[in-house]
Amino acid sequence: MTIMNQWLPWNSKLQRLRAKLLNDPYYRLQSGEEIQMAAKLGIRIDANQATVDDWLRLPGLSIHQARSLVELSRSGVKFYCVEDIAAALGMPTPRLEPLKPLLNFSYYDNESLINPTDMVNPNTATVEQLAQVPFIDTSLAEAVVQNRLSSGVYRNLADFQRRLELSGEAIAQLMYFLRF
């Protein structure tokens, strides 16, 4: 019984954090405890493909730091460890150590399926640029731009799918080529 009582508060906290993360894709983790719980929930951030929003989920990083990391990554800088991120931000490594459970350092070679810098942002791309994306023909490219102009920017891949009424199969093919 005592073991169960000890488990329930953690489980309850874990469930509350899970609900927060599911309900708010921009939820910013608040503490070391939340970082540990998010890691238990399977939350991971690929340091070499993270977006500004991904970096902002982490406590202690400013919007300027997040933008800097994304800009560096897109320009070809590879992060191999937390020390690389600390050096890029001009911060002491111990300050970023608590973030380690959430960070993945994946490596992408030039022969990979797609280079993250080759991804197209449907919120800024022209019809011509979209038509260059595999699996997007001219009519879909025109629909993407028209929908964006009439209904505003796409928040994420799910919003893109819903608004354009695309099948799961289509999104599974496109998700490797689009960046929001």
Task: With respect to residue 100, please indicate whether it lies within any of the assigned structural domains.
Answer: yes
How far apart CA 27 and CA 53 sit, in angstroms, is 9
- Point out the domain boundary residue: 62, 96, 112: 112
Domain that holds residue 150: 119-174
Per-residue pLDDT, 144: 96
CB burial class (10 A; 0-12, 13-18, 19+) of residue 105?
A: middle
At residue 120, what are phi and psi to the nearest 5 degrees? -110, 135
- Point out the domain boundary residue: 65, 84, 112: 112
- Point out the domain boundary residue: 65, 92, 112: 112
Task: With respect to residue 23, please indicate whether it lies within any of the assigned structural domains.
Answer: no
Q: What is the pLDDT along the chain (180 residues), one digit of tens a residue?
A: 223 334 445 578 878 888 887 788 788 998 888 898 888 888 889 999 999 999 999 998 999 999 999 999 888 888 999 999 999 999 999 999 999 999 998 866 544 544 555 789 999 999 999 999 989 999 999 999 999 999 999 988 889 999 999 988 888 889 889 998
CA distances from 177 to 53, 74, 106, 138 (A): 18, 15, 18, 16
Task: With respect to residue 144, please indicate whether it lies within any of the assigned structural domains.
Answer: yes
Per-residue pLDDT, 4: 37
Query: What does the block give as tokens for 37?
Result: 């719980």
Whether 135 and 159 share a structural domain: yes
How far apart CA 33 and CA 13 sit, in angstroms, is 10
Angle at 92 between CA 59 and CA 21, to 5 degrees: 15
Per-residue pLDDT, 8: 41
Whether 166 and 100 share a structural domain: no
Q: What is the DSSP letter of 27?
A: P
- Nearest Cα residue to 49 out of 136, 147, 142, 118: 118
Number of domains forming the structure of the chain: 2
- Nearest Cα residue to 143 out of 170, 174, 167, 122: 122
Maximum Cα interatomic distance, the chain, rounded to a whole number of Å: 64
Task: With respect to residue 46, please indicate whether it lies within any of the assigned structural domains.
Answer: yes
Per-residue pLDDT, 69: 95
